[in-house]
Amino acid sequence: MKKYLHYIRKKYFAPQAMVLMYHSIAEPESDVWDIAVSPANFEQQLQELKKAGNVVPLKELTDGVYNKSLKNNSIAITFDDGYVDNFSTAKPLLEKYNLPATFFIASGYLGQAREFWWDELEHLILFTEQLPLAITITINNILVEVSLDEEATLNKVLWQKHKVWKAFVEKPASKRCRLYLELWQQLKALPEDELLQHLQSIRSWAGVARSVRTGAISMAVEQLQELEQHTLFDIGAHTVTHPALALHKRAYQRQELLLNKSFLEKTLNQTIELLAYPYGSYNGYSMAEAYEAGFKAAFTTEGKVISEGDHPYSLARFQVKNWTGAEFKQQLQLWKSKKLAAEAAV
């Protein structure tokens, strides 16, 4: 009986916390991975969080996991990748509501006049007016062969489909969507130099130049420094080139973690203690290397609540979607009651 009561207490009354994962605060033409939240919805979500009054800095939450002092129902806000809108749009809103947040930065994209590769590929495949009729390309020894036929020319119907297609939850809405998904899957597995070479081949096939839409790039180094200066905000690591770590050798993983960490530490003149695995991809080597590199904790994209005693190098996070304040509030309740778990992509 005593043992049973202990189990009940542990299962139902142990303190639990949640970490929220955002990427971009913007309204892009399409959002196949559900990673953009509109500024209006983001503000409504912050209003809900403010009302709930339980947002804590991620460091405090992580310490709680370590020290068994987790504040029950506490929530931490995080952003992945380093999109420029984190600085221009999210920062002022977080300041307005006085809410802390941690920004995980892929340093290879910082201050670069280039888009995150998945965004450029999405724009290129789904929205280029005229593409060739078919593509044959070998990536990573896998042959990708897709005929676009009548979809080579973008029409209004196709454009509309692409604007709303979600790669996670729906089957490809068109041949172009299928092509995007196949290319994304193959490119994601590559080291960056090979990935960029293939991306260039795909641009040449499409007959388009490299796209650099100002809203889709990373923030500048100075913006990151300004962000970090604010007491509400903290910076975390997200590798240099954003590889799917589990698909790479241990030495490659180590290099990605160490170079990212040392660059951020030098640029910001502070110790970087927290890491988020790109695409939520990690294995035993990633965890070991995160520890070796001196990270205190690392975060995945597995949608689960966090409890004391969770492994500090595989802490879960929930991906926040483009929900209104009311929808977001409902979602938080669902997550809290563990009725919903989700995986995220980017």
> Which residues of this protein are in contact with Zn ion, per CB under 5 A?
80-81, 278
CB 1 within 8 A of CB 16: no
CB 57 within 8 A of CB 234: yes
Closest approach, Cβ 278 to Zn ion, in A, equals: 5
- Helix (H) or strand (E) segment spanning residue 318: strand 318-319
Q: Give the CB-nearest residue to Zn ion.
A: 80
Structure tokens at 76: 């931490």
- With CA atoms as reference, report the closest residue to 295 among 110, 69, 102: 102
Nearer to Zn ion, 81 or 85 (CB): 81
Nearer to Zn ion, 267 or 281 (CB): 281
First-residue to last-residue Cα distance in the chain: 46
Closest approach, Cβ 238 to Zn ion, in A, equals: 6
Nearer to Zn ion, 21 or 56 (CB): 21
Closest approach, Cβ 144 to Zn ion, in A, equals: 23
CA dist list (Å): 307 to 17, 175, 295: 6, 43, 19
Nearer to Zn ion, 179 or 276 (CB): 276
Closest approach, Cβ 98 to Zn ion, in A, equals: 26
Nearer to Zn ion, 118 or 313 (CB): 118
Closest approach, Cβ 3 to Zn ion, in A, equals: 43
Nearer to Zn ion, 79 or 285 (CB): 79
Give the other-Cβ count within 10 Å of 240's Cβ. 22
- Helix (H) or strand (E) segment spanning residue 326: helix 325-336
Write the secondary structure of 208-274 as one string of H (helix), E (strand) and C (coil): CCCCCCHHHEECCHHHHHHHHHCCCEEEEECCCCCCCHHHCCHHHHHHHHHHHHHHHHHHHCCCCCE
CA 203 to chain centre: 25
Closest approach, Cβ 37 to Zn ion, in A, equals: 15
- With CA atoms as reference, report the closest residue to 313 among 298, 301, 292: 298
Nearer to Zn ion, 174 or 239 (CB): 239
Closest approach, Cβ 218 to Zn ion, in A, equals: 11
